[in-house]
Amino acid sequence: MIIRLVSAALVAGFLAAVVGTGLQFALTSPLIIAAERYETQASAAPLLPIPASLIVRVHGGHDHGTQNNGPRDPSVAGGEVAPVWEPGPGLPRMAFTALATLVGGVGYALLLGAVLLACNREPSPESGLRFAIGGFLAVALAPALGLAPELPGMEAAPLADRQFWWVMTALATAMGLYLIAIRRAPVSIAGGIVLLVAPHLAGAPETSHAASNLPAAYAAQFAARSLGIAFVFWAVIGLAYGWAWGLFGRNRPTHA
């Protein structure tokens, strides 16, 4: 059974990665690259009279080593610390984006398979899609309500806080959806609603409202496109997982 689950998840993750990577290249990557141009401009030429604390060089020409390499003199514009590896621009960067999408897609597909099995559902395109929509709500839509998809260069709260809130929101939403959609008893529905709402009442880590050079239209477009891509990504994972599960089961009906 584990072989069948992993095989189906590999197929689903691969198909979703193909679709998701195509959409990312077409819709979000151009915006990310455009945003980085503003960001490197801002860090390369800090001529504006902005307090230094506002120019947090989150990307700083794509050198992310600031937090990990300990405190560093902000007036030293990089170069002192050995550069951290990053994929070269153009094709290598696209290749690694595709690879990351594949890893993420297979990971999500495995989780979807595990949840389907744990909930005692026979995977099919229909049930796969239904659970995939739950996955989209839990890891894409609900966290995005508090932490909007952000472009490079947009200021934000400390990473650890946001990651913690993200994970807690995803878990609470998933649990809440389970209680509402699968348990379906009045008490569990009430508990589920509490779980859905609680992370948002607790509140996401505060986003800084410092002005940014980035045009607002980019950020808005990016947020909408990012959620759209996430939905398609999940839908393909769900449909393909259900389809592939049936495909791998046909050869060995006795082991189904």
Give contact residues for other proteins (rule: CB under 8 A): 1-2, 5-6, 9, 24, 28-29, 32, 58-59, 62, 64-65, 68, 84-87, 93, 96-97, 99-101, 103-104, 106-114, 117-118, 120-122, 124, 127, 140, 143-144, 147, 149-152, 156, 159, 162-163, 166, 222, 226-227, 229-230, 233
Question: Cα-flanking dihedrals φ and ψ of residue 213, to 5°?
Answer: -70, -15
Which is closer to other proteins, CB of 53 or CB of 120? 120
Residue 237 and residue 109 in contact, taking contact as beta carbons nearer than 8 Å: yes
Which residue's entry shows tokens 């070269």?
A: 88
Q: Write down the least CB distance from residue 230 to other proteins, Å.
A: 6
Q: Write down the least CB distance from residue 14 to other proteins, Å.
A: 13
Q: Write down the least CB distance from residue 1 to other proteins, Å.
A: 5
Rounded Cα distance between 235 and 230, Å, is 9
Which is closer to other proteins, CB of 97 or CB of 212? 97
Which is closer to other proteins, CB of 84 or CB of 190? 84
Which is closer to other proteins, CB of 44 or CB of 159? 159
Tokens of 37: 């141009």
Residue 42 and residue 60 in contact, taking contact as beta carbons nearer than 8 Å: no
Alpha-carbon separation of residue 63 from 59, 215, 245 (angstroms): 6, 23, 42
Q: Write down the least CB distance from residue 141 to other proteins, Å.
A: 9
Q: Write down the least CB distance from residue 201 to other proteins, Å.
A: 20
Nearest to 146 by CA among 167, 131, 130, 132: 167
Which is closer to other proteins, CB of 49 or CB of 90? 90
Which is closer to other proteins, CB of 107 or CB of 215? 107
Alpha-carbon separation of residue 56 from 3, 69, 121, 158 (angstroms): 47, 15, 48, 11
Q: Write down the least CB distance from residue 51 to other proteins, Å.
A: 20
Tokens of 65: 């080593």
